[in-house]
């Protein structure tokens, strides 16, 4: 389960900002965010790596394309023919129209997923659980968890509001401060009230456990918080804070570069 909020063309100094939590079992082997070469991406990308399937959940290119995937919460967890971790890498290598043509005939080979592809001009969203998959994103602040884009789950609404507030008070010289603020917001472990919980078929105890922006436990929880920003001057900045069981902080990484022309 994951949580992503992203802002597209909502701030005069930061045309693109993404704040995301990746939730996963701690036993699943993972490499932290770094630059690596991917044949699927067609170039070097900045991304974490799932060492079990070889894919990733969030990738950033040198020229400022950001792609990310979340799963769709479903009562069935049957194995799929293809790994969702390849999707953010494919989104780095194909235009949105090409990606849609590629995904439409193969969408049922994956378990339920949401995929976003973003840049400074806008973005694109695709879900194989959407009745009309493939839609363009032009401007706004959007939230994505483990249902369709903008599904009003409590943690999504809360984080979307907080990201909007953080952006309002941020100047061009405060990118580091913005990243630190967003990391802190994503560490919120407050569960949603029971009356606001969705019913996704996993039972009330699991719904309650998964309802906070940050999930803390021994076996399953938030593995990484990632912040991405692109300034209007072309500066890319990416922060990743990793966690172990029971929210124990581990590696903290920050990358900064000038976007390719």
Looking at every residue in the chain, the average pLDDT score rounds to 95
Strand partners, 8: 16, 140
Q: Is 135 exposed, middle or buried (0-12, 13-18, 19+ CB in 10 A)?
A: middle
Count of structural domains, the chain? 1
CA distance 23 to 171: 31
Query: Helix, strand, coil proportions of the chain in percent (round to 5)?
Result: 25, 35, 40
Task: Encode pLDDT of 60-113 as tens digits.
Answer: 999 999 999 999 998 766 778 899 999 999 999 999 999 999 999 999 999 999
Q: What percent of the chain has pLDDT over 70?
A: 98
| CB 49 within 8 Å of CB 36 | yes
CATH number at residue 212: 3.60.60.10
Boundaries of domain holding 117: 2-258
Question: Residue 20's closest CA among 203, 146, 152, 172?
Answer: 146
- Determine the pLDDT at residue 1: 63
Q: Is the dihedral of CA 131, 102, 1, 170 positive or negative?
A: negative
Confidence of residue 261 (pLDDT cuts 50, 70, 90): low
């Amino acid at each position: 389960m994951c949580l992503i909020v992203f802002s597209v063309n909502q701030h005069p100094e930061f045309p693109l900002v993404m704040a995301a939590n990746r939730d996963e079992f701690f036993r699943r082997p993972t490499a932290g965010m770094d630059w690596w070469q991917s044949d699927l991406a067609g170039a070097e990308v900045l991304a974490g790596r799932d060492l079990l399937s070889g894919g990733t959940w969030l990738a950033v290119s040198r020229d400022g394309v950001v792609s990310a995937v979340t799963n769709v919460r479903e009562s069935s967890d049957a194995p799929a023919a293809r790994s969702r971790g390849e999707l953010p890498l494919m989104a780095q290598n194909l235009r949105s129209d090409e990606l849609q043509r590629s995904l439409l005939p193969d969408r049922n080979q994956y378990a339920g997923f949401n995929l976003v592809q973003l840049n400074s001009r806008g973005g694109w969203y695709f879900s194989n659980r959407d009745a009309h998959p493939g839609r363009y994103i032009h401007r706004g602040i959007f939230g994505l968890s483990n249902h369709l884009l903008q599904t009003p789950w409590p943690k999504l609404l809360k984080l979307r509001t907080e990201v909007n507030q953080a952006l309002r008070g941020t100047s061009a010289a405060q990118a580091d401060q913005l990243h630190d603020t967003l990391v802190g917001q994503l560490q919120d472990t407050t569960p949603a009230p029971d009356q606001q919980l969705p019913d996704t078929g996993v039972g009330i105890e699991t719904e309650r456990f998964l309802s906070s922006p940050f999930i803390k436990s021994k076996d399953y929880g938030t593995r990484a918080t990632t912040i991405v920003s692109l300034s209007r001057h072309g500066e890319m900045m990416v922060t990743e804070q990793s966690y172990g069981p029971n929210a124990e902080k581990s590696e903290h990484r920050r990358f900064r570069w000038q976007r390719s022309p």
